[in-house]
Amino acid sequence: MSEFAIHDGVLHVEEIPLTELATRFGTPCYVYSRAAIVRQWEAFQAHMPAPHKVCYAVKANSNLAVLQVLAELGAGFDVVSGGEIARVLRAGGLAKNIVFSGVGKSDAEIRYALEQNIGQFNVESDAELDRIAAIAADLQCTARISFRVNPDVDAKTHPYIATGLEANKFGIPMQDALATYRRAARLPSVEIVGADCHIGSQLTETQPFLDALDRMLVLVDALAAEGISLKHLDMGGGLGVTYADETPPPIGHYLQAMHARLVDYPDLALYLEPGRAIVANAGVLLTRVEYLKANRSKHFVMVDAGMNDLLRPSLYQAHHDIVNVVASNAPEVTGDIVGPVCETGDFLGQNRTLRVAAGDLLAVKSAGAYGFAMSSNYNSRPRPPEVMVAGEQAYLIRARETLDDVWRGETLIPISDTQ
Ligand X SMILES: N[C@@H](CCCC[NH3+])C(=O)O
Binding partner of residue 238 among ligand X, ligand PLP, none, CB under 5 to 8 Å per kind? ligand PLP
Please tell me the distance from the alpha carbon of residue 374 to that of residue 187, in angstroms, as a whole number: 38
Has 273 been labeled as part of a binding site? yes
Of residues 240-299, those binding ligand X (CB under 6 A) = none
- Of residues 41, 28, 144, the one with CA closest to residue 401: 28
For residue 186, give every residue at least 6 positions away whose Cβ sits within 8 Å of its Cβ, in sequence order, or none: none
Of residues 366-385, those binding ligand X (CB under 6 A) = 370
Residue 329 DSSP SS3: coil
Strand order in the sheet with 16-17: 4-7, 10-13, 16-17
Long-range contacts at 326-330 (CB < 8 A, ≥ 24 apart)? 326/9, 326/10, 326/11, 326/19, 326/360, 326/361, 327/6, 327/9, 327/10, 328/355, 328/356, 328/357, 328/360, 329/355, 330/355, 330/356, 330/357, 330/360
Q: How far is the CB of 79 from ligand PLP (least distance, A)?
A: 10
Please tell me the distance from the alpha carbon of residue 387 to that of residue 370, in angstroms, as a whole number: 16
Binding site for ligand PLP (CB under 6 A): 57, 60, 78, 101, 163, 198, 201-202, 236-239, 273-277
Cis peptide before 173 (omega within 30 of 0): no
Has 238 been labeled as part of a binding site? yes
Q: How far is the CB of 382 from ligand X (least distance, A)?
A: 22
Indicate the residue among 248 and 335 with the shorter CB distance to ligand PLP: 248
Please tell me the distance from the alpha carbon of residue 315 to that of residue 307, in angstroms, as a whole number: 9
Report CA torsion sign: 312, 314, 315, 320.
positive
Has 343 been labeled as part of a binding site? yes
β-partners of residue 347 are 338
Binding partner of residue 312 among ligand X, ligand PLP, none, CB under 5 to 8 Å per kind? ligand X
From 29, 141, 197, 342, the catalytic residue: 342
Using CB under 6 A, pick the residue from 63, 122, 201, 375 that binds ligand X: 201
Indicate the residue among 241 and 356 with the shorter CB distance to ligand X: 241
352 CB burial (10 A radius; 0-12, 13-18, 19+): buried
Has 254 been labeled as part of a binding site? no
Please tell me the distance from the alpha carbon of residue 248 to that of residue 253, in angstroms, as a whole number: 10
Q: How far is the CB of 27 from ligand X (least distance, A)?
A: 22
Which helix (H) or strand (E) covers residue 393, if one does? strand 393-398
Q: Please count the other Cβ atoms lying within 10 Å of the Cβ belonging to residue 335.
A: 22
Of residues 141-170, those binding ligand X (CB under 6 A) = 161
Has 159 been labeled as part of a binding site? no
Site string for ligand X, 39-78 (x = CB under 6 A): --------------------x-------------------
Binding partner of residue 274 among ligand X, ligand PLP, none, CB under 5 to 8 Å per kind? ligand PLP
Using CB under 6 A, pick the residue from 47, 312, 352, 383 that binds ligand X: 312
Indicate the residue among 170 and 347 with the shorter CB distance to ligand PLP: 170
Indicate the residue among 161 and 396 with the shorter CB distance to ligand PLP: 161
Indicate the residue among 100 and 370 with the shorter CB distance to ligand X: 370
How many H-runs (helices) and E-runs (strands) does the chain carry?
11, 21
Asked if 222 and 184 touch (Cβ cutoff 8 Å), the reply is no
Has 144 been labeled as part of a binding site? no
Indicate the residue among 23 and 317 with the shorter CB distance to ligand PLP: 317
Binding partner of residue 52 among ligand PLP, ligand X, none, CB under 5 to 8 Å per kind? none
The reply to whether 342 belongs to the active site is yes
Binding site for ligand X (CB under 6 A): 59, 161, 201-202, 312, 370
Binding region for substrate: 276, 312, 316, 343, 370
Binding residues for pyridoxal 5'-phosphate: 238, 273-276, 370
Catalytic sites, residue numbers: 342
Binding residues: 238, 273-276, 312, 316, 343, 370
